Structure 1
Amino acid sequence: MALDRARYLLSQSHADEPSVDGRRRRGQDSRARIVQAMLDLVREGHVSPSAELVAARADVGLRTVFRHFKDLESLYREMSGVIEAELLALAETPFKATSWRERVLELVERRGWAYERIAPFKHASEVHRHQSPTLALDNAKFVAGARDILRRELPASLADDRDLFEAIDLLLSFDAWRRLRRDQQLGPRDATEVLQMSIQTLLRQAERG
């Protein structure tokens, strides 16, 4: 009897596997749709999309959104992961330039390209950063990583020049790019040229001094 009972339970377990796998796949699909909905809404300019709006765009119930993500902080974490992957791919792309000076100027073009892609997400993150540990940490990592890249490309003598380094780092920041693009209404090409000219001027002054 015990052996027959064991065989019965085993057969039922195997019978339930397709159902379990189906639920898991549906859950994964819902999660992916929710994350994509969040990304799409932010990309369209919704700096603070509500859970209701995310649910409507993902075509899932509001309860499903909260089941996968207990709060919006979890959604921000998923969104940050996608953004980080894009920036990492850019950071790992080899430079075209060969000299350090040309690579520093190429950084302007590379940052400009990246900033154009992530601008909606940066705008959204700045709105929520004060109340989101995830966004605050991601911003700190972004700034630190950008500074490390600049320090790596500059000659040691210039990288150790605090005033010069901080000035160039400022010119390569998202804040400088946003000011030129949004407030001064320059196109990407013109914004790039203004920043490159400014950095070249700083480098020439530093080398003469």
Structure 2
Amino acid sequence: MSEAAVMPRGNAVAATAADVSGTAGRTDGRNRRAAETRRKVIEAAKAMIAETSTAPTVVAVAKRADVSVRSVFQHFGDVESLFVTVMDAIRKDVAAPAPTAANEPQVIRIASLVQNFAELFDKTVPLRVAAGQFVGHPALIERGLASKRELRAATFETFAPEFAALDEQAREELADAIGAALSLDAWIVLRRRDGLSFERATAVWRRTLSALLGYNQATAAAAE
């Protein structure tokens, strides 16, 4: 006869509830430990990318996070999956600010957009350089395209009056020109290859953006 059968009903129910509670407690404990391990691995990888601009190895991340290599593989499978997860975490940390209102003077809008882009890119340069080790990875390509779409939308919103004065082809050409001139790759050239300070690089971008907008305004006026 089972223990529950000879036990008073109230005690049997209490014992069953205690068993369930104990199992749930152990499960919650494992989940908390797993979540903490995952957090430590992501934070370690983020710190290492910021310091070295290279994708760290699983062994190095495990050592930095003070976890086992096996734990890293259990949570992420491979170094590429870890890198994609870290990229998503960094993107959340450096979300682009809201565009400046389109009714502000153009000079203010130019300065604001350049400052916003520059601050965003300066924080993501190490990640972008490290991502070069995974060229062609579908998830990274998809995220890169999403970021470009977001910045292009911000450009259209910030300079809505200027774009409105152009025909469709000219609008797209202007957006393409701004996207190429004020891209993350262009920022890397200014900051890392040419060694410009943040202030000097943003000054270059303000002049570039002013020239692009001025050219299109002159073109639109000539066409009238």
User: Does TM, scored on the shorter chain, surpass 0.5?
Assistant: yes
- Aligned residue type for 2:25: P
Tell me the distance in 2 between the aligned counterparts of 1:91 and 1:129.
Answer: 28
Match of residue 13 from structure 1: 20
Alpha-carbon shift at residue 117 of structure 1 (Å): 0.8
Shift of 1:195: 1.2
Residue 30 of structure 2 corresponds to which residue in structure 1? 23
Task: Please state how far the C-alpha of 1:21 moved relative to its aligned partner.
Answer: 1.8
Which structure 1 segments of 5+ residues have no match? none
When residues 106 and 47 of structure 1 are mapped into structure 2, their CA distance, relative to the original with a 3 A threshold, is same
Q: Which residue of 1 aligns with 2:72?
A: 65
Measured at CA, do residues 168 and 94 of structure 1 come closer, stay the same or move farther in structure 2, by a change above 3 Å? Answer: closer
- Corresponding residue to 2:156 among 132, 138, 151: 151
Is residue 100–residue 113 contact of structure 2 (8 Å, CA) maintained in 1?
Answer: no
Q: Are residues 46 and 146 of structure 1, via their aligned partners in 2, closer, same or farther at CA, if it must alter by over 3 Å? A: closer
Structure 2 CA distance for partners of 1:65 and 1:169, relative to 1, 3 Å: same
Contact 1:38 1:79 in 2 (8 A): yes
In the other structure, the counterpart of 2:116 is: 110
Structure 2's unaligned 5+ residue stretches are 6-11, 220-224
2:196 and 2:144 map into 1 onto residues whose CA distance is: 25
- 2-structure distance, mates of 1:84, 1:163: 28
- Identity score, percent: 27
CA distance in 1, matches of 2:196, 2:187: 10
2:181 counterpart of 1:176: no
Deviations 1:138-186 (A, max 9, x none): 1111111111111222222248423333222212111111111112211
Give the deviation of 1:93 after TM superposition. 6.9
TM-score, structure 2 normalization: 0.82
TM-score for the superposition, normalised by structure 1: 0.87
Amino acid at match of 1:171: A
Which residue of the partner structure matches residue 130 of structure 2? 124
Bigger Rg, which one: 2
How many angstroms apart in 1 are the aligned matches of 2:177 and 2:145?
18
Q: Is 1:187 equivalent to 2:197 in the alignment?
A: yes
Among 123, 133, 144, which residue is 1:139 paired with?
A: 144
Matching residue of 2:4: 4
Letter in 2 for 1:133: P
Q: 1:159 to 1:58 in 2, by over 3 A?
A: farther
1:48 CA displacement: 2.2
In 2, are the aligned partners of 1:158 and 1:164 still within 8 Å (CA)? no
Structure 1 pair 197–46 and aligned structure 2 pair: CA distance change class (3 A): closer
My pick for the range that moved more, 165-174 or 8-17, is 8-17
Map of 2:43 onto structure 1: 36
> Structure 1 stretches (4+) deviating beyond 6 angstroms?
none
What secondary structure sits across from 1:15 in the alignment? Answer: helix
Amino acid corresponding to residue 60 of structure 2 in structure 1: L
Paired with 2:153 and 2:135, the residues of 1 have a C-alpha distance of 22
Structure 1 residue 202: Cα displacement: 2.2
Backbone CA RMSD of aligned residues: 2.4
Report how far residue 18 of structure 1 moved: 2.5
CA distance in 2, matches of 1:179, 1:159: 32
